[in-house]
Amino acid sequence: MPRIVLLVTSPRLPAGLLTAAAWDVVRAAPVLAAAESELTTAIRASGAQVRVLDGPAVPALLDSAATHGTVVWLAGPAGDETLARELGLRLAREPGLAELELMYGSWDPPGARLLDAVAVLDRLLSPGGDPWKRAQTHRSLAGFLLEECYEAYDAIIAGDTDALREELGDVLLQVVLHARLAEELPEDRRWTVDDVAGGLVEKMVRRNPHVFAGAEAGSLEEITASWERIKQAEKSRDSVLDGIALSQPALALAAKILERTERVGLSVPLPSPQAQPDPEGILGATLLATVAQARDAGLDAESALRHATLAHADLIRATEPPSTHSDQ
């Protein structure tokens, strides 16, 4: 029976990267397409012939299949669903005309949609794109990056994996947006999203020698210690506190500083609330002591305060009078 092959390929891979089966069929059968493309060029370069149609595709495909036994249709990036549906209906009414076969000549590799994200952000920040995004700077976007990370954190705490997927997309938007803005910097300070990804890859390879360099894995504690040794050698920091994000919430910052201090075996006494000269100093020293007590008990002071505050907010909502809910 005559055969019509719908050849679907990934638009995110070089046009010539086809499977052996796909190359066999395009070299052995007539190839039809709706328009010229990089793929038609690649197929012609291999010695095969491609005919670009200037009329309806379905009759041409049926005629070619009847004449040659097999015909190949180069499907567009969306898979040409309309054409496939039209062909399917025609062959369902006249089952002896031909068989319809879907063949994948190439597939999107994992992470392929990241290329789409880069392309979309490039369009938005290029001339003729979105005026608001084109007007932003790293500094003007800083708060948005923090906010999106908090929203992703909220989704994790809530156990809402669907919300987490969406929120991580918003975090990714900020990453790609900052990278695209960096392409506009002066040449000596310019970098791209590939530099970001490349730096990440190199860091992960260096810091995981038990995976990439044949080193012995050992226990989780040994792996963590190895990570810290490699990180310390990379950073050449003067203090164990170097690299701590100082803009994080104060309770989390206090816990991180205490954790770093403990890690290297330093014993530094906490400030005494009674020795402070003013109420703010007394409060600060008291809170720092509370964070230290929480760490000693294996608790997260930041998380504990968050949970207590949210529970109190729920109580407020439950007890406030109905008039409080009216539109402001």
> Both 63 and 117 in a single domain?
no
Instruction: Give the residue-averaged pLDDT of 25-49.
Output: 93
Is position 285 within any domain? yes
199-216 pLDDT, tens per residue?
Answer: 999 999 999 998 998 888
Q: How confident is the model at residue 234 (pLDDT cuts 50, 70, 90)?
A: confident
* Encoded amino acid at 188, one letter: D
> Both 132 and 57 in a single domain?
no
pLDDT at position 281 is: 94
Q: What six digits make up the tokens of 52?
A: 């670009």
39-50 pLDDT, tens per residue?
Answer: 999 999 999 989
What CATH number does the domain containing 139 carry?
Answer: 1.10.287.1080
Q: Are strands 99-104 and 70-74 parallel, antiparallel or unpaired?
A: unpaired
Is position 255 within any domain? yes
> Both 40 and 115 in a single domain?
no
Of 70, 104, 138, the last residue of a domain is 104
pLDDT at position 241 is: 84
> Both 61 and 91 in a single domain?
yes
Of 57, 89, 104, the last residue of a domain is 104
Mean pLDDT value across the chain: 90
What CATH number does the domain containing 22 carry?
Answer: 3.40.1010
What distance in Å separates the CA atoms of residue 6 and residue 22, rounded to the nearest whole number? Answer: 10
> Both 82 and 175 in a single domain?
no
Is position 139 within any domain? yes
Q: Residue 327: is its pLDDT beyond 70?
A: no
> Both 115 and 98 in a single domain?
no
> Both 88 and 115 in a single domain?
no
Instruction: Give the residue-averaged pLDDT of 9-16.
Output: 87
Q: Count how many domains the chain has.
A: 3
76-133 pLDDT, tens per residue?
Answer: 766 688 888 898 899 999 888 999 999 999 998 899 899 999 999 999 999 999 999 9
Q: Residue 224: is its pLDDT beyond 90?
A: no
What distance in Å separates the CA atoms of residue 64 and residue 24, rounded to the nearest whole number? Answer: 18
Q: 60: domain range? A: 3-104
> Both 82 and 132 in a single domain?
no
> Both 94 and 16 in a single domain?
yes
Is position 293 within any domain? yes
Q: Residue 26: is its pLDDT beyond 80?
A: yes
Give all strands (DSSP E) within the chain, no chain letters.
3-8, 31-33, 50-52, 70-74, 99-104
pLDDT at position 27 is: 94
Is position 326 within any domain? no
Q: How many CB atoms sit inside 10 A of residue 105's CB?
A: 23
Is position 149 within any domain? yes
Residue that the structure tokens 């990570």 belong to: 227
Q: Residue 230: is its pLDDT beyond 90?
A: no
Is position 244 within any domain? no
- β-bridge partners, 50: 31
What distance in Å separates the CA atoms of residue 232 and residue 303, rounded to the nearest whole number? Answer: 28
Is position 240 within any domain? no
pTM exceeds 0.95, yes or no: no
237-280 pLDDT, tens per residue?
Answer: 778 788 888 888 999 999 999 998 888 788 899 999 999 999 99
> Both 90 and 165 in a single domain?
no
> Both 20 and 82 in a single domain?
yes
> Both 27 and 89 in a single domain?
yes
Q: How many CB atoms sit inside 10 A of residue 37's CB?
A: 18
Listed residue (240, 235, 281) closest to 258, CA to CA: 240
Q: How confident is the model at residue 12 (pLDDT cuts 50, 70, 90)?
A: confident
SS (H, E, C) 215-232: CCCCCHHHHHHHHHHHHH
